[in-house]
């Protein structure tokens, strides 16, 4: 039996990208994948630690999810893995529900993402207003920065709460445990990452020795340099800093083990909101990242539905290896593009690079100071936020400012789910208000001869539930002696059932007063609704005209014989 809806075909972009694939493209993808793998290593550890889980969980997520998203996704160059945007979400879920329920929520979110892609819902994510995206992104950036204060200052806090105000209170209560060495190392790493040469700022013309040196340095990520120097300094000078080894016992030098998380239906029923949050944020982040990548490459645009299905597969699989939520990552994707990637092969190489690092160099992470990772994450948080939008708020309307600031404050003070829900309600409310203000009834300026006793108005905009009050007020605005109301609807672009109901109510009120209602020059959508509802028969064929001239002629008073 055929399905009553069209299911999106599962066709990874990799299949198309490998057509006419040659040696030169493979070399470019290999170089890009190796570069992104090096960039991803410190970020994967930092994101995991900041999320309240072990560093290897971030690395395993980058390996498994990164491989699956590149191999099965709908973008040529997108890199997937743990993302900074998930830090606050994952940390809150771990604190409230525990690690096991985080894994279950992630797997359920993966199934939801697969369903969204299969049902062709990828394009719907684009309808989320930019004000909401900017608001919650900036809010998440603030929360990420706040979560790193503990390690940046070296404060001795066993468990930092997830709530914003509780975090501030806890940090203040433990301020006396401040470690100057931690602050120095963290700020030094932050400064180094900021000033380190970036590949996308390198000159393209003939350059001298200094510029060539900068270009060479830019090929090594600043995060890796900062992490390496901080680790060496901590080891050589025996700095009193908390490290990955002292907190987590290091990183396993082995492949992740497949393990099914214990499942309880009673606890799973409480994970609806966490699951929806992970799925929603993963969909938004991945498709935004893919759109950014599309604008940077000369290749077919991404397939949003295929991308969602790949994200879903990745998020369904990684929890069985202890992984955390994954999505498309803008920083690593941009690095991939700047490094010359041409196909998803680069993302696969990035995942294999991380796997090789774990198998060979995992013991080197023992002495990585957590303050250094905190400094790197502060840089990530700063780059994540679109802070200029706050300075530009005065240039926009009150609804824009209210939605953006409201989403930002709710993200910080409460959580992302509440912020997006309230933000969408505010955006919808403001949109309805603006659309209702666009609808109006006016006297046509070009019409000269209006028969006596005829009340003529031209409708503009959309007649929907937010604007029906203006139609309901027509009966009360009629001058004495009115015998016919003519509504010219050529400039009415659409009408919903509430608008139709308002016209039917107006017809009944006027009919009781002995006044005719005449409609003319209806566009296709309003006319179709009038005919399908049967209102044309109720109104009478003589009161429905194709143009204004015919309506005015039909409404003229009979000539005395």
- Helices vs. strands in the chain: H and E counts, helices first: 26, 7
Residue pLDDT, tens place only, 527-553? 999 999 999 999 988 899 988 888 888
CA 328 from centre of chain: 11
Proportion of the chain above pLDDT 70, given as a percent: 95
Token digits for 408?
Answer: 């930002």
Separation CA 144–CA 150 (nearest Å):
11
> By 3-state DSSP, what share of the chain in percent is helix, strand and coil, each rounded to 5?
65, 5, 30
Q: What is the pLDDT of residue 559?
A: 53
Cβ count near 202 (within 10 Å): 17
CA distances from 454 to 190, 288, 458, 502 (A): 75, 55, 13, 20
How many residues does the structure list for the chain? 561
Separation CA 117–CA 109 (nearest Å):
12
Q: For residue 34, which of 228, 195, 220, 230 has the smallest C-alpha distance? A: 220
DSSP letter for 447, please: -
CA distances from 291 to 75, 132, 308, 330, 351 (A): 9, 17, 13, 10, 22
Q: For residue 278, which of 415, 373, 143 has the smallest C-alpha distance? A: 415
Q: What is the pLDDT of residue 14?
A: 93
DSSP letter for 453, please: T
Helices (H), 261-387: 265-268, 272-294, 304-317, 330-338, 345-361, 370-384
Cβ count near 20 (within 10 Å): 6
Average pLDDT of the segment spanning 64-90: 93
206 pLDDT band, cuts 50/70/90, is: low
Q: Comparing 138-142, 208-212, 344-348, which segment has the lowest mean pLDDT? A: 208-212
Q: For residue 128, which of 283, 327, 273 has the smallest C-alpha distance? A: 283
Separation CA 288–CA 83 (nearest Å):
13
Average pLDDT of the segment spanning 346-352: 95
Q: Would the pLDDT of 1 be above 50?
A: no
Contact 131, 427 (CB under 8 A): yes
Q: For residue 14, which of 307, 295, 286, 296 has the smallest C-alpha distance? A: 307
504 pLDDT band, cuts 50/70/90, is: very high
Contact 409, 132 (CB under 8 A): no
Q: What is the pLDDT of residue 488?
A: 92
Q: Per residue, what are the HEC states of 102-113?
A: HHHHHHHHHHHH
Cβ neighbors of 152 (< 8 A, separation 6 or more) are: 182, 183, 186, 187, 371, 374, 375, 378
Separation CA 256–CA 252 (nearest Å):
9
With tokens 């194709």, the residue in question is 546
Cβ neighbors of 316 (< 8 A, separation 6 or more) are: 106, 107, 110, 111, 114
Token digits for 3?
Answer: 């399905």
Separation CA 202–CA 215 (nearest Å):
6
Q: For residue 8, which of 113, 126, 127 has the smallest C-alpha distance? A: 113
Q: Would the pLDDT of 561 be above 50?
A: no
Average predicted confidence (pLDDT) for the chain: 88
Specify the higher pLDDT residue, 222 or 535. 535
Q: Comparing 112-121, 287-296, 446-455, 479-488, which segment has the lowest mean pLDDT? A: 446-455
Cβ neighbors of 55 (< 8 A, separation 6 or more) are: 44, 45, 48, 49, 244, 248, 251, 365
Q: Which residues pair with 15 in a beta bridge?
A: none
Average pLDDT of the segment spanning 412-421: 84
Specify the higher pLDDT residue, 303 or 362. 303
Q: Comparing 197-201, 250-254, 413-417, which segment has the lowest mean pLDDT? A: 197-201
Q: What is the pLDDT of residue 129?
A: 87
Q: For residue 356, which of 44, 81, 73, 59 has the smallest C-alpha distance? A: 59
Separation CA 272–CA 532 (nearest Å):
40
91 pLDDT band, cuts 50/70/90, is: very high
Residue pLDDT, tens place only, 381-392? 898 888 999 989
Token digits for 284?
Answer: 């938004």
459 pLDDT band, cuts 50/70/90, is: very high
Average pLDDT of the segment spanning 431-450: 84
Q: Would the pLDDT of 336 be above 60?
A: yes
CA geometry: angle 49, 54, 60, nearest 5 deg: 105
33 pLDDT band, cuts 50/70/90, is: very high
Contact 518, 545 (CB under 8 A): yes
Residue pLDDT, tens place only, 247-269? 888 888 887 788 877 777 777 77
Give the pairing of strands 544-545 and 516-520.
parallel
DSSP letter for 243, please: B
Contact 107, 319 (CB under 8 A): yes
Q: Comparing 206-215, 289-298, 345-354, 517-526, which segment has the lowest mean pLDDT? A: 206-215
């Amino acid at each position: 039996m055929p399905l009553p809806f069209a299911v999106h075909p599962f066709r990874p972009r990799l299949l198309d990208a490998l057509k006419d694939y040659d040696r030169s493209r493979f070399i470019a993808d290999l170089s890009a994948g190796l570069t992104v793998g090096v960039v991803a290593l410190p970020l994967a550890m930092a994101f995991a630690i900041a999320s309240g889980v072990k560093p290897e969980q971030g690395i395993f997520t980058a390996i498994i999810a990164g491989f699956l998203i590149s191999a099965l996704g709908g973008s040529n160059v997108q890199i997937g893995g743990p993302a900074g945007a998930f830090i606050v979400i994952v940390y809150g879920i771990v604190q409230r529900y525990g690690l096991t329920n985080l894994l279950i929520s992630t797997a359920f979110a993966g199934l939801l993402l697969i369903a969204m892609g299969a049902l062709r819902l990828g394009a719907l994510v684009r309808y989320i207003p930019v004000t909401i995206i900017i608001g919650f992104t900036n809010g998440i950036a603030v929360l990420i920065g706040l979560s790193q204060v503990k390690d940046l200052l070296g404060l001795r806090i066993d468990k930092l709460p997830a709530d914003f105000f509780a975090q501030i209170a806890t940090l203040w209560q433990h301020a006396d445990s401040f470690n100057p060495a931690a602050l120095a190392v963290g700020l030094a790493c932050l400064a180094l990452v900021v000033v380190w040469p970036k590949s996308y700022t390198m000159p393209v013309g003939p350059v001298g020795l200094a510029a060539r040196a900068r270009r060479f340095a830019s090929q090594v990520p600043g995060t890796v340099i900062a992490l390496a120097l901080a680790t060496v300094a901590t080891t050589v000078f025996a700095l009193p800093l908390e490290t990955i080894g002292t907190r987590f016992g290091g990183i396993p030098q082995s492949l992740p083990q497949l393990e099914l998380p214990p499942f309880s239906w009673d606890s799973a029923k409480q994970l609806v909101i966490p699951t929806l949050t992970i799925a929603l944020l993963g969909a938004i982040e991945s498709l935004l990242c893919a759109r950014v990548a599309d604008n940077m490459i000369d290749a077919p645009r991404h397939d949003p539905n295929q991308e969602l299905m790949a994200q879903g597969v990745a998020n369904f699989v990684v929890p069985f290896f202890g992984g955390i939520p994954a999505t498309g990552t803008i920083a690593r994707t941009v690095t991939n593009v700047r490094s010359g990637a041409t196909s998803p092969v680069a993302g696969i190489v990035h995942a294999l690079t991380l796997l090789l690092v774990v198998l060979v160099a995992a013991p080197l992470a023992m002495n990585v100071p957590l303050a250094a990772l905190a400094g790197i994450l502060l840089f990530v948080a700063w780059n994540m936020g679109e802070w200029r939008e706050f300075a530009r708020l005065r240039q926009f309307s009150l609804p824009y400012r209210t939605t953006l600031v409201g989403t930002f404050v709710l993200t910080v003070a409460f959580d992302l789910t509440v912020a997006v829900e309230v933000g969408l309600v505010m955006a919808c409310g403001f949109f309805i208000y603006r659309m209702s203000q666009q609808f109006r009834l006016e006297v046509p300026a070009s019409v000269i001869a209006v028969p006596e006793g005829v009340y003529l108005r031209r409708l503009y905009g959309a007649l929907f539930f937010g604007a029906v009050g203006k139609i309901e007020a027509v009966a009360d605005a009629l001058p004495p002696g009115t015998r016919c109301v003519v509504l010219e609807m050529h400039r009415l672009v659409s009408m919903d059932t509430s608008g139709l109901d308002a016209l039917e109510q107006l017809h009944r009120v006027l009919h009781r007063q002995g006044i005719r209602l005449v409609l003319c020059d209806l566009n296709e959508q309003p006319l179709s609704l009038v005919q399908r509802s049967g209102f044309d028969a109720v109104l009478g064929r003589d009161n429905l005209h194709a143009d204004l001239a015919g309506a005015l002629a039909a409404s003229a008073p009979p000539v005395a014989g």
